[in-house]
């Protein structure tokens, strides 16, 4: 009598080709895995390389947390807190070092009584190429000390030179993260963090890239050279363009444009 339809005849079954969890894998499966595993590893490695190659360079920023740095210079509070440091070897004979408090808020930095005076400030240095920032510790009564040194007048009151009107396209970022605290400290994934930093008084930077790949970082101010208003926050980390004026103050370039001059692109 023939086997009923739908019933497996044990006599015609090759148990060597069946998968059983507790038994040795069939020969055909072992051959497939031995051939597919190297190909899978090569494919995964190639895909990883392709994805990594499409990512942008996070930049040359550094957050030098391994040591406490001391910076001596004239203290300035406008348009943002900064130290003007005399350095004959530097361009224009000086260096500008922005100041930021630990965390995302500069409101605790109260030093109006030392405005324009030579001081020694202690903190952690953050730098990106020729741009520097000093992150000062939370114990704010110990990080700043007046010093008795002569500061050249060209440093205490640096020249303000207009380089003319300019139409620039780039990205608005907070200087602290962009200089090196976060890598990369830019782009959509950094929008919330950058907005909080700028809202807290961290100086905003306008990151511009030329067609040949060179980058330029300009300190952002309003059209009169004061702090840019919080109206800029919705555009932080988005591609934008604006018509404004490039101004050199000492060794630092500023891009002066009101917040309503920026347009998302």
pLDDT for position 67:
84
DSSP 196-209: HHHHTTPPEEEEEE
- Which of 132, 139, 169, 182 shows the shortest CA–CA distance to 257? 169
194-225 tens-digit pLDDT = 999 999 999 999 999 777 777 889 999 999 99
pLDDT for position 126:
93
Identify the band that residue 251 occupies on the pLDDT scale cut at 50, 70 and 90.
Answer: very high
Look at residue 70 and tell me whether its pLDDT is greater than 90. Answer: yes
Look at residue 129 and tell me whether its pLDDT is greater than 60. Answer: yes
This prediction has a pTM of 0.75
Look at residue 131 and tell me whether its pLDDT is greater than 50. Answer: yes
pLDDT for position 10:
57
pLDDT for position 28:
74
- CA 102, CA 94: separation in Å to the nearest integer? 25
Distances from the Cα of 67 to the Cα of 14, 64, 142, angstroms: 71, 7, 16
Look at residue 171 and tell me whether its pLDDT is greater than 50. Answer: yes
Mean pLDDT of 216-243: 95
Taken in order of first residue, the domains within the chain and their CATH numbers are 61-156 (2.40.50.110), 160-264 (2.40.50)
Identify the band that residue 55 occupies on the pLDDT scale cut at 50, 70 and 90.
Answer: very low
pLDDT for position 48:
66
């Amino acid at each position: 009598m023939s086997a009923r339809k739908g019933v497996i005849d044990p006599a015609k079954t090759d148990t060597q080709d069946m998968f059983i969890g507790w038994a040795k894998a069939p020969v055909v499966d072992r051959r497939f895995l031995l051939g597919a595993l190297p190909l899978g590893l090569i494919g995964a490695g190639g895909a990883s390389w392709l994805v990594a190659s499409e990512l942008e360079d996070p930049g040359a920023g550094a957050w030098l947390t391994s040591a406490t740095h001391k910076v001596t210079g004239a203290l300035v509070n406008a348009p943002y807190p900064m130290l003007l440091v005399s350095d004959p070897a530097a361009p224009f004979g000086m260096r500008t070092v922005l100041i930021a408090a630990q965390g995302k808020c500069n409101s605790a930095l109260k030093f109006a009584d030392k405005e324009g005076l030579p001081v020694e400030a202690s903190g952690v240095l953050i730098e990106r190429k020729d741009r520097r920032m000093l992150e000062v510790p939370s114990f704010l009564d110990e990080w700043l000390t007046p010093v008795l040194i002569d500061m050249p007048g060209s440093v205490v009151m640096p020249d303000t030179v207009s380089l003319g009107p300019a139409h620039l396209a780039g990205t608005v970022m907070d200087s602290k993260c962009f200089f090196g605290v976060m890598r990369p400290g830019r782009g959509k994934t950094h929008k919330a963090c950058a907005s909080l930093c700028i809202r807290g008084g961290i100086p905003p930077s306008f990151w511009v890239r030329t067609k040949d790949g060179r980058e330029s970082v300009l300190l952002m101010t309003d059209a009169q050279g004061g702090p840019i208003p919080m109206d800029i926050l919705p555009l932080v980390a988005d591609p934008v363009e604006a018509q404004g004026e490039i101004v050199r103050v000492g060794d630092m370039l500023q891009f002066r444009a009101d917040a309503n001059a920026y347009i998302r692109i």
